[in-house]
Structure 1
Amino acid sequence: MTLRRTAFAIPGDLNTVTGGYIYERLLLETLRTLGHDVQHIQLGASFPNPSQADMDHAVRALTDLTPDRPLILDGLVYGSIATHGLAQVRAPIVAMIHHPLALETGLDQMQRDHLFRTERDNLGLAQHVLVPSPHTADILASEYDVPRNRITIAPPGTVRPDATRQPIDPPMILSVGIQHARKGHDVLLRALAELDHLRWTATVVGSAYDPDHSTHLKTLVRHLGLTDHVTFTGQIPQNTLDQLYRQATVFALATRYEGYGIVFNDALAWGLPIVSCRTGAVGQTVPDDAGILVPPDDPARFATALETVLSDTVRRTSMTNAALRHGQDLPSWTDTARIASGVLNTLHV
């Protein structure tokens, strides 16, 4: 079978270390491995709050595509590009929506309403939509008027570890997520402040994506007296992150919302018990027997869940074994790319 050539338009640096960028970079690379001719189109980094220059460049770049090269368009752009500009694109469009932009943390009502209307209108121009989770599919169908038969779920793949865990002492709590309000690191810090009667350290990995929030987190660490217990590493190489997964006892992310959460797959693959929040797609991503999920924005209950994993050896061992089992069943990136490839090859061009 001849595999359809395509274009994949992504804003900014493809090597940015966030779940969405990791997903799209590995999907692009694996589509090429499968045999697709994939043209990478780098759009301006200011999306989803585009400058006029980046908006104009995006419209020009996308309208230059010929109708025989379908376009996969990243969600940061898809939900914020001008609808009249997107309507000029001649290529069949596949929207890649990790989660609707209007659900981002920290937006005022005017921003939220604008993004909702723009994304809903733009989704009407998509021939198909790729999403990472049933949760996102449900939202697009129920709130954004996308027909179910135009949505395909392509769960993210997982790179399986080539080593076994060797937890260090005192136990390390590992959290992986950019320093942004949505990731709930402030909630995690307040929870950790309630665990001063236990032995532990905590390591938070992720770039200072939102500089103001990063400053707030540093201030909070000092205010809560956690300086000797909590380390923010910033962005680190994959081999260094793998070593932290290997050394950790529990994975913790006090997120306020996730459209999927690739880091949960990584934690499962390493056999780490998970403490997180029942919000967005987390409940569909983290198996009940491998994690403890609490309501978002509840430091006290998050602290109780962490204490359970750290103090109850029997429960922790059971969760570890469950995580390892579920981790073995996770899809590979080849599985993910084959789903996307099937969508590309059924588009009307």
Structure 2
Amino acid sequence: MSEIVFAIPGDLSLPTGGYGYGRRLLAEWREMGVAAQHLQLPGGFPNPSETDLAETGRAILSQSYDSVLLIDGLAYGAFPESIAAGLAGRVVALVHHPLGLETGLSPVQAAEFVRREAAALRYAAAVIASSETTKRLLVADFAVPAERITVAEPGVDPAARAVGSGDGETVKLLAVGSLVPRKGYDVLVAALEGLADRPWRLTIVGADDRAPATTAALKAQIAAAGLSGRTRLAGALGQSELDMAYAKADLFVMPSLFEGYGMVLTEALARGLPILCTTGGAAAETAPDDAALKVPPGDVAALRAGLARLLDDRDERQRRADAAWQAAGALPRWRRTATIVAEVCAKVIP
């Protein structure tokens, strides 16, 4: 193997978990001396135009034949079978979560994504899944043999323990993730609307331009609920500002409907924050039960009850915070993640 060619669609600097995973692998490989390069694919994936597909084909075919193609699932899962077949034996597919499980798709769209991704994965020499949950999904619903799948969970860096807001009365809630339907922020706002009598403030950190209709609807929902003065949509923040947001939070909330892993959960654990999250996808397993109170995804009443319980019980918040800080020491590190992926790629001989 001469090098790893890591093909990722769109702008690698975008503040999402998937892009963060890609950035970190490339950075770790540079430090490790692993030969690797980033290949930027068109940003139209997972709904590529014919022009996008033609450009993708040219970009991939221009790579040395003895390179291993590590292709992000946002693109590979949307490849037509003809393209995937032409790359058989050269590809390691990286799957954060199957494209057909994205919230907001029609049944027809979801079924087509599943059909296309299952077809493409048949031609991958190996598959990297970001969680055991995703691996199980790929085996059960996409007919990928378990022996071809390796789990490489996202890493997390050590961090200072959160100090909290310092406000003895108002509980500062923090949620992190782009404003897209799958993140379930409408469910969170609906739950908090019924808790207006409690002292809380909510900050949502995440890109607000990926799904403009979702962002507009969320802003309207917050205003209609009379929560504008207590809810801040902070947009995407730089790392230092994000670190400060974690440090000053009292309770981390993740209302996602589905997560392929839930990187923000481990970021919260790394800082010793108590967590309220859903059981959507891998989120049920990413955070330990003693650190996180978990409720079903999409259930407003259950989320409201969980919020009320943790808002009202400072001692429980502290117990879960202590459990989170205890768990922080055992979290996976990025060097291990990068090593696992590089080892899988090294076994693929074009």
* TM-score normalised to structure 1 length: 0.97
Q: CA deviation at 1:163?
A: 5.7
Q: CA deviation at 1:67?
A: 2.7
Find the residue that maps to 2:137 and give its secondary structure.
Answer: helix
The one-letter code matched in structure 1 to 2:72 is D
Q: CA deviation at 1:177?
A: 0.8
Q: CA deviation at 1:165?
A: 2.1
Instruction: Establish whether residue 201 from structure 1 lines up as the match of residue 206 from structure 2.
Output: no
Give me the CA root mean square deviation: 1.3
Find the residue that maps to 1:87 and give its secondary structure.
Answer: helix
Q: Which runs of 5+ in 2 are unaligned?
A: none
Instruction: Establish whether residue 214 from structure 1 lines up as the match of residue 215 from structure 2.
Output: yes
Q: CA deviation at 1:52?
A: 1.6
Question: Does the 8 Å CA contact 1:9/1:42 hold for their aligned counterparts?
Answer: yes
Distance 1:326 1:256 in 2: 24
Distance 1:122 1:143 in 2: 14
How many residue pairs match? The answer is 347
Q: CA deviation at 1:32?
A: 2.2
- In the TM superposition, 1:293-332 aligns within 5 A as 293-332=294-333
Deviations 1:7-45 (A, max 9, x none): 000011101001111111111221222111112110111
Distance 1:99 1:125 in 2: 18
Distance 1:30 1:7 in 2: 15
- 2:117 corresponds to which residue? 119
Q: CA deviation at 1:168?
A: 3.2
Percentage of pairs with the same residue = 38
- In the TM superposition, 1:1-349 aligns within 5 A as 5-89=3-87, 92-162=90-160, 164-169=162-167, 170-208=170-208, 209-349=210-350
Distance 1:210 1:34 in 2: 37
Distance 1:237 1:259 in 2: 24
Q: CA deviation at 1:91?
A: 6.4
Find the residue that maps to 2:259 and give its secondary structure.
Answer: coil
Structure 1's consecutive aligned runs of 4 or more residues displaced over 4 angstroms after TM superposition are none
Structure 1 residues 125 and 91: CA distance shift in structure 2, 3 A: closer
Distance 1:112 1:46 in 2: 17
Deviations 1:312-347 (A, max 9, x none): 122111100100011111011101001111112222
Deviations 1:274-301 (A, max 9, x none): 1111110011101100011111111121
Find the residue that maps to 2:127 and give its secondary structure.
Answer: strand
The one-letter code matched in structure 2 to 1:11 is P
The one-letter code matched in structure 1 to 2:66 is D
Q: CA deviation at 1:237?
A: 0.8
